[in-house]
């Protein structure tokens, strides 16, 4: 009975408002869903578009201006090749020679404040590139300005970085160091040598007086050497930069001729001091191999035995108590690399350098005690 009443009420209930409300809710949900789908689709399209745009090669126009008659000048081709290696589309490439296309080239040079040639001007979709890392921004373009020497200087209408080397030789000095070593180092450093002038000591008198050169051989670099960072940064360690811009080599390897004394400095005398009664003592001749490795010029060598009057007197004169040993004349001090090391294992006596760290070499004899000593490391071996 109760259930029949419930169904009668249910049948009499008005569903129309409920249906309307549900319909409205469905429509609203559909609109909201459509909005999100549309927004997501639009966002995805935008991101895809941005990705496609980023991947699209930048459209660029190149204008290359070469230096006139300068085969050895900076190679702009490597810079152009680097630009082309990126994600770019070169839509045009204009190659001009400063001399042959002077009027057109001059317009570009004036517009973009160009001072050195060769160079490259890049125009177009620059914001899609990373060319700002190697080029500078000038107006509506990027311009290459980091030319290394040699290059053509527009202001002076001349090529900068072609160096003339004047070699000043010492007369009567066959033992003198080979200045060609310095020349090779200059060449290795990338300095472009245009001309080499060789002068004798007599022929160079005016130059040696002008630059107050005291040692020969030497060399003089023309002022264009200042275009090279290697020279500007390191030359003060080997020479001087003069008021006229020239670079004079002053600290070259011995032997050399001292123009103030007329003598050859850097010829080293080597004296071995031994005790002939010590058969166990190390072979003193090993010193020569070490000395030769530092490039010392040995002008003469002799061996003195402490068992002879001459040898005994020599040990007293130079304060030698441990033998065998090696003694070098004072000219050895002119070899800076050797001298820095040798001072740690030697003493100076009467201007000579006496090797004292004999325990590093092997078995030796103490002249004061008469004892023959074998270093512990030698005993272990």
Q: With pLDDT > 90 as the criterion, what percentage of the chain qualifies?
A: 80
Q: Are residues 205 and 303 in the same domain?
A: no
Q: Are residues 246 and 303 in the same domain?
A: no
Lowest mean pLDDT: which of 4-18, 25-39, 104-118?
Answer: 4-18
Name the pTM for this structure.
Answer: 0.77
CA distance 155 to 151: 12
User: Sign of torsion, CA 236 241 247 248?
Assistant: negative
What is the structure's pLDDT at 24?
77
What is the structure's pLDDT at 55?
77
- Calculate mean pLDDT across residues 346-350: 94
CA distance 362 to 151: 60
Retrieve residue 258's tokens: 């001292």
Q: What is the pLDDT of residues 16-67, one digit of tens each?
A: 665 667 677 777 767 777 666 666 666 666 666 555 666 789 999 999 999 9
- Calculate mean pLDDT across residues 134-151: 96
Overall domain count for the chain: 3
Give a yes or no: residue 1 inside a domain: no
Give a yes or no: residue 229 inside a domain: yes
Burial of 242 from C-beta contacts in 10 A (0-12 / 13-18 / 19+): middle
Q: Is the peptide bond before 150 cis (omega within 30 degrees of 0)?
A: yes
Give a yes or no: residue 4 inside a domain: no
Q: Are residues 174 and 196 in the same domain?
A: yes
For residue 381, pLDDT over 60 is answered with no
Residue finishing a domain among 240, 258, 276: 258
Give a yes or no: residue 39 inside a domain: no
- Calculate mean pLDDT across residues 343-362: 96
Q: Are residues 365 and 273 in the same domain?
A: yes
Tell me which H or E stretch contains 136: strand 136-138
Residue finishing a domain among 153, 188, 205: 153
What is the structure's pLDDT at 14?
57
Q: Given the DSSP bridges, would you call strands 163-168 and 239-241 parallel, antiparallel or unpaired?
A: unpaired
Q: Tell me the sheet residues that pair with 169.
A: none
More confident residue, 148 or 46: 148
Retrieve residue 293's tokens: 């490795």
- Which stretches within 61-179 are classed as H helix? 77-84, 102-111
Q: Are residues 183 and 104 in the same domain?
A: no
Residue from 278, 366, 371, 375 nearest 315 by CA: 366
Q: Are residues 222 and 289 in the same domain?
A: no
Q: How far is CA 225 from CA 147, 155, 167, 211, 231, in A?
A: 15, 18, 15, 17, 7
- Calculate mean pLDDT across residues 266-281: 97
Q: Are residues 235 and 314 in the same domain?
A: no
Q: Are residues 283 and 244 in the same domain?
A: no
What is the structure's pLDDT at 154?
95
What is the structure's pLDDT at 32?
72
Q: How far is CA 274 from CA 106, 269, 303, in A?
A: 79, 16, 7
Give a yes or no: residue 20 inside a domain: no
What is the structure's pLDDT at 49?
59
* Mean of pLDDT over the chain: 90
CA distance 365 to 348: 20
The DSSP output letter for 131 is: G
Q: Are 220 and 165 in contact (CB under 8 A)?
A: yes
Give a yes or no: residue 168 inside a domain: yes
Retrieve residue 42's tokens: 């639009």
Give a yes or no: residue 49 inside a domain: no
Q: What is the pLDDT of residues 194-247, one digit of tens each?
A: 999 999 999 999 999 999 999 999 999 999 999 999 999 999 999 999 999 999
Give a yes or no: residue 247 inside a domain: yes
What is the structure's pLDDT at 182?
92
- Calculate mean pLDDT across residues 152-178: 95
**CATH assignment of the domain containing 101:** 3.40.30
For residue 12, pLDDT over 90 is answered with no
Q: Is the peptide bond before 255 cis (omega within 30 degrees of 0)?
A: yes
Residue finishing a domain among 258, 283, 300: 258
For residue 10, pLDDT over 60 is answered with no
Q: Are residues 375 and 295 in the same domain?
A: yes
CA 59 from centroid of its chain's CA atoms: 36
Q: Are 318 and 353 in contact (CB under 8 A)?
A: no
Q: Are residues 310 and 230 in the same domain?
A: no
Q: With pLDDT > 70 as the criterion, what percentage of the chain qualifies?
A: 86
Q: Are residues 244 and 282 in the same domain?
A: no
CA distance 163 to 87: 39
Q: Are residues 280 and 254 in the same domain?
A: no
What is the structure's pLDDT at 43?
66
Q: Are 225 and 194 in contact (CB under 8 A)?
A: no
Q: Given the DSSP bridges, would you call strands 267-274 and 141-143 parallel, antiparallel or unpaired?
A: unpaired
| 251: containing domain | 161-258
What is the structure's pLDDT at 1?
54
CA distance 298 to 266: 9
């Amino acid at each position: 009975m109760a259930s029949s009443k419930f169904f009668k009420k249910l049948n009499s209930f008005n569903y129309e408002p409920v249906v309307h409300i549900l319909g409205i809710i469905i429509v609203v949900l559909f609109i909201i869903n459509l909005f999100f789908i549309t927004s997501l689709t639009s966002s995805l399209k935008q991101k895809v578009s941005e990705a496609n745009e980023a991947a699209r090669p930048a459209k660029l126009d190149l204008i290359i201006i070469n230096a006139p008659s300068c085969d050895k000048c900076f190679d702009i081709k490597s810079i152009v090749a680097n630009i082309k290696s990126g994600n770019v589309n070169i839509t045009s490439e204009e190659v001009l020679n400063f001399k042959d296309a002077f009027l057109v080239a001059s317009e570009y040079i004036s517009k973009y404040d160009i001072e050195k040639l060769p160079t490259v001007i890049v125009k177009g979709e620059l914001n899609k590139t990373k060319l700002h890392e190697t080029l500078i921004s000038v107006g509506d373009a990027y311009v290459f300005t980091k030319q290394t020497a040699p290059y053509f200087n527009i202001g002076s209408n001349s090529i900068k970085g072609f160096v003339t080397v004047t070699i000043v030789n010492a007369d009567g000095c066959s033992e003198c160091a080979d200045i060609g070593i310095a020349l090779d180092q200059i060449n290795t450093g990338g300095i472009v040598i245009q001309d080499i002038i060789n002068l004798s000591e007599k022929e160079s008198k005016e130059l040696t007086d002008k630059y107050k050169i005291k040692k020969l051989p030497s060399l003089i670099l023309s002022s264009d050497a200042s275009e090279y960072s290697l020279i500007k940064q390191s030359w003060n360690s080997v020479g001087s930069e003069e008021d006229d811009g020239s670079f004079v080599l002053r600290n070259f390897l011995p032997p050399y001729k001292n123009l103030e004394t007329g003598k050859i400095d850097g010829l080293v005398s080597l004296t071995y001091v031994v005790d002939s009664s010590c058969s166990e003592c190390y072979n003193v001749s090993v010193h020569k191999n070490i000395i030769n490795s530092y490039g010392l010029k040995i002008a003469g060598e002799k061996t003195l035995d402490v068992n002879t009057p001459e040898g005994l007197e020599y040990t007293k004169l130079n304060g030698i108590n441990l033998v065998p040993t090696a003694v070098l004349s004072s000219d050895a001090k002119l070899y800076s690399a050797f001298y820095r090391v040798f001072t740690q294992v030697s003493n100076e006596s009467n201007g000579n350098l006496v090797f004292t760290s004999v325990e590093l070499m092997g078995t030796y004899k103490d002249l004061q005690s008469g004892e023959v000593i074998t270093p512990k490391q030698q005993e272990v071996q």
